[in-house]
Amino acid sequence: MTDTSTHGGLRSLELSNRYRSNRGDVVQDFYVPAFRVAASYSRAVGYFSSTSLALYSRGIETFAASGGAMRLIASPHLTEEDALDIERGYDIRSVIARSTDHVLRAEDRGPVLDGLGLLGRLIAEGRLDIKLAFVMRDGHIGIYHEKIGIFRDPVGDLVAFTGSSNETAGGLAANFESLEVYRGWLEGDGARALNLENDFEELWANETPFLSVIDFPEVARSHLIRLGQERTFILPARDNALEPTAEVVDERTQLEIPSWLTARDYQKTAVYSWLKHQGRGILKMATGTGKTKTAMMAATRLAEVLEHRGEPLVLLILAPLQHLVDQWMSEVVEFGVRPVPIYESSKRWPPLVEEQLTQIRLGQRPIIAMVATYDSFSGEKFQAILARITQPIMVIADEAHNLGSPTYRSRLPANATYRLALSATPERWFDDEGTDALISYFGPIVYELGLGDAIEMGALCRYNYIPRLVELDEDETQLYIELSAHIAAAIAAGHELDNDSNSPLGLLLRKRAGVLGHAQGKLDALRHDLRERRDTWYQLVYCAEGTRPSPAGEPSGTNQLQQVMNLVGNELHLPAHNYTSKTPRSERKLLLSRFSSGDDLKVLVAMRCLDEGVDIPDARTGYLLASSSNPRQFIQRRGRLLRKAEGKDRAEILDYLAVPPPGAPLNFDIERRLLTRELERANEFGKLSENYEATLKLLRPLKEQYQLMHL
């Protein structure tokens, strides 16, 4: 029998059958010695990222120098949007290829690229191969979370192991981990070691039931090889080759203002005012003036103050909708930190949040950033995590007026030391109690930038406002008269005009507003205006919600959005697309990109979901068919059109106001009271426009008829 104890291979190592963080250094005691003598390394783990891949380069320097070869199987890093795309039937390989390439391109810092470049050279030399594993059942994608590894030395001896560790910075250095090790030459261990190796070989051959294992996407593979050709830096061989260095595994965990971003004077003033109020308050800034970046500047300054005190920061950003979470994610990354997205439907965020909170408690991370939808934030799962945090918390609430509702305001964390609310309209419409609750929690308005000041200082572009008065037709007038009579009776009976749209009076008012919003004459006026602007790009049409109201007992009327799409696309032959709450998130990004290109879509036809937060600065012409007297809604819509963009010096807003014909038998006092809201909106739009005199002239007859000249 050949004596292999002295051949310098795996048998020469003093290996234990179990490694645990409380009994030693798993990296130094197990990984480094095994890499020194191994000829091949096969590893299946449950986590994939650019930094974890770069970390492998540290582990295989010496190993690769002696001709070693490595195979890696990892679970692809998929966002919630990727998972939804797969569930909708998109080609899974294409989605994974897109996501993997995105992950690799997310890092632009030298040390990580050096590590990835080394991997690229090994791939090009045929000494490293990577595959991706995932679970696919009933149209849903799951995570491959197994962790096994196999070392083989030049004479064929085998060491296999399994355990909790991912080969990431946290898995190999910061976390508490354990490994079970099986040496192939020992009785009792040999069968287990071979079983683990067989499991890996079945994985590699894609022969494992319930799992799919695919080749590493060619686009990502080419990206790594290209980095290998471009990066000339060679990582030095070291005894502690697997020990992650801060330069390689840094996960961008410190906020800093991007070098390309120059803060405007009003943004500096807003941040200073918030800090002066002990880190609490509301920024009431016009839509389009950069509230998001101002808030991130405030968070950065706060993080700097806390760092000097030796304290970490838990940054929690709340946004009402998922697409706004996506936008915030991009913003936070630009400021140097990769946040955790909190979607209620996702099972991925809880372990990530728990891991980073542990690192914060241990002093291994200065900041954790999370971006949550309102629904996910208020859910029991996240609330339980939030209640256990003892480190300084900063809450940034986007479109904060929404948090004034009883459901949300009761869930705002009492343990948040720093609080910042963002809204162009923090006052809740017909809800003084909700407004007071917001101010009580976040603090007072510490900085205000109105639309007029924003236009004057050049933060927003100037605009023309063109109201279009449209008379109701005969059927619409009859329904309008009936509803108005019921409204008058309800008010006479003591019902108050409030914000409850489901009250008896609220339902009547909503249906009456629907008659105005869906007035057929608006389409005729829109047809005329679109024809005049058929050669113009960057046009938005805001449609009324729901369907056209019908008299009691008759079927529901037509859908205005469908009518407008037919008018724009089929009749006028303008390239257009609808944009609604039912538009998939992945498709929304594509539509906005096509719209902004200026050579694809001329018109976006929207129903409400372009109201809050969507950044479409290229939009130049807006057609407002929906009759909204809610200040927040029409201010948001105007703000969408006034954002600055290259080549854009002015916007145009066409506002379609439906009114009953002169002589209609209506209660004058009630009608005057209800019409006041419509005219207040028109006056608000007109007074800051470049053509206010024309607006006053057009509206004067209507104001005189209803004795509203004071508006």
What is the percent of the chain with per-residue pLDDT over 70, rounded to a whole number? Answer: 78
User: Which of 12-16, 133-137, 181-185, 294-298 has the least mean pLDDT?
Assistant: 133-137
- What is the pTM for the complete model shown? 0.61
Distances in whole angstroms, Cα of residue 397 to Cα of each of 303, 316, 631: 17, 8, 20
Q: At residue 448, does pLDDT exceed 90?
A: yes
Pure H helices in 171-317: 190-204, 218-230, 246-249, 265-276, 291-308
Note the pLDDT of residue 394. 97
Q: At residue 172, does pLDDT exceed 80?
A: no
Q: At residue 316, does pLDDT exceed 90?
A: yes
pLDDT tens-digit profile of 325-347? 888 988 998 898 989 999 766 66
Note the pLDDT of residue 343. 79
The mean pLDDT value for 476-489 works out to 89
Distances in whole angstroms, Cα of residue 667 to Cα of each of 349, 482, 706: 57, 11, 11
Contacts of 274 (CB under 8 A, 6+ apart): 280, 281, 283, 298, 420, 446, 447
Note the pLDDT of residue 6. 41
The mean pLDDT value for 74-100 works out to 67
Which of 552, 483, 547 shows the shortest CA–CA distance to 517? 547
Q: How many CB atoms lie within 10 A of CB 19?
A: 22
Note the pLDDT of residue 249. 34
Distances in whole angstroms, Cα of residue 215 to Cα of each of 131, 203, 205, 270: 5, 12, 10, 51
pLDDT tens-digit profile of 372-381? 999 999 999 8
Note the pLDDT of residue 87. 61
Q: At residue 475, does pLDDT exceed 80?
A: yes
Q: At residue 502, does pLDDT exceed 80?
A: no
Q: At residue 668, does pLDDT exceed 50?
A: yes
CA distance linking residue 595 with residue 616, whole number of Å: 9
Where is 53: in which H helix or E strand? helix 50-59
Domains of the chain: 10-236 (3.30.870.10), 265-456 (3.40.50.300), 462-471+519-705 (3.40.50.300)
The mean pLDDT value for 115-132 works out to 76
What's the mean per-residue pLDDT of the chain? 81
CA distance linking residue 694 with residue 316, whole number of Å: 47
Q: At residue 229, does pLDDT exceed 80?
A: no
Token pair recorded at residue 340: 């955790």
CA distance linking residue 476 with residue 267, whole number of Å: 48
Note the pLDDT of residue 230. 66
Contacts of 337 (CB under 8 A, 6+ apart): 252, 253, 254, 255, 315, 367, 369
Q: Are strands 148-152 and 158-163 parallel, antiparallel or unpaired?
A: antiparallel
